[in-house]
Structure 1
């Protein structure tokens, strides 16, 4: 019979699964894992919400989740993705925001509870020198969830997460 880990053990294993595009944060740091279900028959179901519906790393995330759970001795793993509710940058934990900044990515401002679309972006702080004297150089960065900026104080380019 296959092993039946506790939900806590599964969460702990998922804490070690890095975001495929930002290796300094895990998929749980980013708030992508929504639910873990363990039944008595050795089956585990993990539900996650991608940070972007068209995320090109979706299959990598799914495979990484399955591998991490199977390493616990689980024979049957079901990985489900859901877009409801949609992922929000509010789900990123505070420690991960600091690690993003240290990695050189401006963490997003909280999206908040409001349902209105913001026409003006929140001020972005340079992750290197903390200056607000920055300018956006591209609406889309290396991934669709980020923008490109240059800091006019320290002259360094950097990526910044969009608030969603």
Structure 2
């Protein structure tokens, strides 16, 4: 059995990947909130779901435990922390870069001062069906994009198409 200090445990956990978007780590996503090590070697890890009911949390919890177990940590307690609510503002610049390289448009900045205004109708190139700005195409960089579906392979992504290169792509929604 090994006893890790907080910094060692943090370095291990910063390598745990997201099961839905495996190019991102839980640190890149900003869901790794805190790590505490007790005198008996128990490591407590706080993680925040990207949204309520996120199906990946059980797998992330298991992956966190497995990563620390490989390092010989005797006891791990993973805690889901729901307050404050996760926001895409917590994503790292490195995570946003990795998303783009993977072919997923990263989230833009959240609107200041409140919720996104809903627009009544869809206008290609002017944003999503909810009034959010159109993301740039992660393949060619064009801002001439159109939303095809508000929900994609996961609830946190929407499906878009670039009208310049004609390629479809996912966009990680702003939360």
TM-score, with normalisation over the residues of structure 2? 0.89
Kindly indicate whether residue 84 of structure 2 is the aligned counterpart of residue 85 of structure 1. Answer: yes
Structure 2 unaligned regions, length at least 5: 118-130
Superposed structure 1 runs of 4+ greater than 4 Å apart? none
- Distance in 1 (alpha carbons) for counterparts of 2:165 and 2:154: 24
Paired residues in the alignment total 162
For the aligned residue pairs, the C-alpha RMSD in angstroms reads: 1.1
Is residue 134–residue 149 contact of structure 1 (8 Å, CA) maintained in 2? yes
Kindly indicate whether residue 153 of structure 2 is the aligned counterpart of residue 142 of structure 1. Answer: yes
Give the 3 Å change call, closer, same or farther, for CA 122–25 of structure 1 in structure 2: same
TM-superposition CA deviations, 1:89-118 (whole Å, max 9, x none): 011100110110010000001226x45101
- Distance in 2 (alpha carbons) for counterparts of 1:110 and 1:71: 37
Structure 1 unaligned regions, length at least 5: none
- Distance in 1 (alpha carbons) for counterparts of 2:113 and 2:63: 33
TM-score, with normalisation over the residues of structure 1? 0.95
Kindly indicate whether residue 105 of structure 2 is the aligned counterpart of residue 94 of structure 1. Answer: no
Q: Following TM superposition, by how much is the alpha carbon of 1:123 offset from its aligned partner in structure 2, in angstroms? A: 2.6
TM-superposition CA deviations, 1:70-102 (whole Å, max 9, x none): 122111100000111111001110011011001
